[in-house]
Amino acid sequence: MKKLVVSKDAGGAVLLSSYLNLNKLKFDACLEEPAKNIFKKKFKKINLINYKNILKNIQHYDEALIGTGVKKFEIKVLNAIKDRIMTKSFVDHWCFYKERFLFNRKKYIFPDKIVAHDHYSKKELKKKFPHQKVILIQNPFWKEQIKKYRQRKNTKSSNTILLLISSLKEKDFNKKTINIFLKNLKKKKFNGFIIIRPHPLDIKKNFIKIFPYLRFLKFKISKNNDIGKDISLSKNIIGFKTSSLVLAKMFKKDVYSFHKKKLLKISIPHCSIKHIDKIKF
C-alpha cells in the first residue's frame, strides 16, 4: 500500500523526501509551501491530495509519514487522522521539540512513533517525551548528500566561504552580525568567493540591499544547488544554528557559527563547531 505524506516545514520536508526516495516508497502527499517546492525538486511526479480529502481516502494508506514544525499544519492533520491510521512524525534538528507537538495552549498531540534523525535527537526526544515511542533512523538526507558529493575534489574550494543564511524572520537571526563579518572581509581585502545560501522562503530577496558590503565582494546566490554541492565547493562553512553545519563537519570542512557557544549548544549539541572569531584567512 501507499504511504500518506504530510509536510509543510522545510526541515521536515527535506528529511521526508529523502527517506521516501532512498526507500523507493510509493506515496500520496498533502503539502504546503515550502515543502511542496522541496518535493517537486526531488520527484518528477507527485500525486497530491487535498487536506479535505484525507479522511475520505485514509483506507488507501498503511501509514502516515508526517513532518514537524512550529506551524500548525502538520499537527492539525495528525490530530485528525491519528485514530484512523498508523502515524510517524519525523523530527529534524535538535530544538523546539515541545512546540512541534503542541496542538493548542495545553494539549499535546503525539503520533504512534516519533522518528529521530541521529542519536543526539533521540536522546533529547526521550528526555522531553519519556512516555512516547521514539525510533532512530540514519539521517536519510545526510546519507544522500554524503554519497553524492563528499568524494568530489574541487580545487575552487580553497578560498570559498559558504554562508548559510537562516530565515530572515527567525528570532535568533542577526543581520548586523553578518554585515560586520562582511565588512571585515572587505577590510582584509578578501579575494576569495562567497556562496550565499538563503532559507527557501527568502530566495527572491535582494541580498545586496540586506547585506550592503556584498557589493565589494565576489559572491553568488545559491538557488538550486544541493547543500552537499555547495559544501563541497567551499572551504569555510558559516551559519547560525542550521543542521547543515553538522553535515559540513561530515564533509571534513572548517565549520563556524555566528552564535556564541552557550546558545549554539542549546540548538546544536555537537561540540566541534567553532565560533566565527576563530576563523582565519
What pLDDT is stored for residue 110 in this prediction?
98
By C-alpha distance, which of 123, 281, 130 is closest to 192?
281
Q: What is the pTM of this model?
A: 0.89
Helix pair 35-42, 10-22: axis angle to 10 deg: 30
pLDDT digits (tens, 9 = 90+) for 94-119: 999 999 999 998 899 999 999 999 99
Q: What are phi and psi of 10, to 5 degrees?
A: -60, -45
CA-to-CA distance for 267 and 73, rounded, in angstroms?
A: 23
Chain-centre distance for alpha carbon 138 = 15
Give the residue extent of every domain in the chain.
Answer: 2-138, 150-278
List pLDDT tens digits, range 136-182. Answer: 999 999 999 999 998 876 655 679 999 999 877 766 667 889 999 99
Per-residue pLDDT, 166: 80
Cβ–Cβ under 8 Å, residues 73 and 32: yes
Interior angle at CA 194, CA 165 and CA 94, nearest 5: 30
Pairing of strands 218-221, 254-257: unpaired
Task: Tell me what pLDDT residue 125 has.
Answer: 98
- Residue range 150-278 forms a domain whose CATH class is alpha beta
Q: CA triplet 256, 262, 265: central angle to 5 degrees?
A: 70
The per-residue pLDDT string of the chain (281 residues; one tens digit each, 9 = 90 and over) reads 899 999 999 999 999 999 999 999 999 999 999 999 999 999 999 999 999 899 999 999 999 999 999 889 999 999 999 999 999 999 999 999 999 999 998 899 999 999 999 999 999 999 999 999 999 999 999 999 999 998 876 655 679 999 999 877 766 667 889 999 999 999 999 999 999 999 877 877 889 999 999 999 999 999 889 999 999 999 999 998 899 999 999 999 999 999 887 777 778 887 789 889 988 87
SS3 118: coil
Same fold, 2-138 and 150-278: yes
CATH number of 2-138: 3.40.50.2000
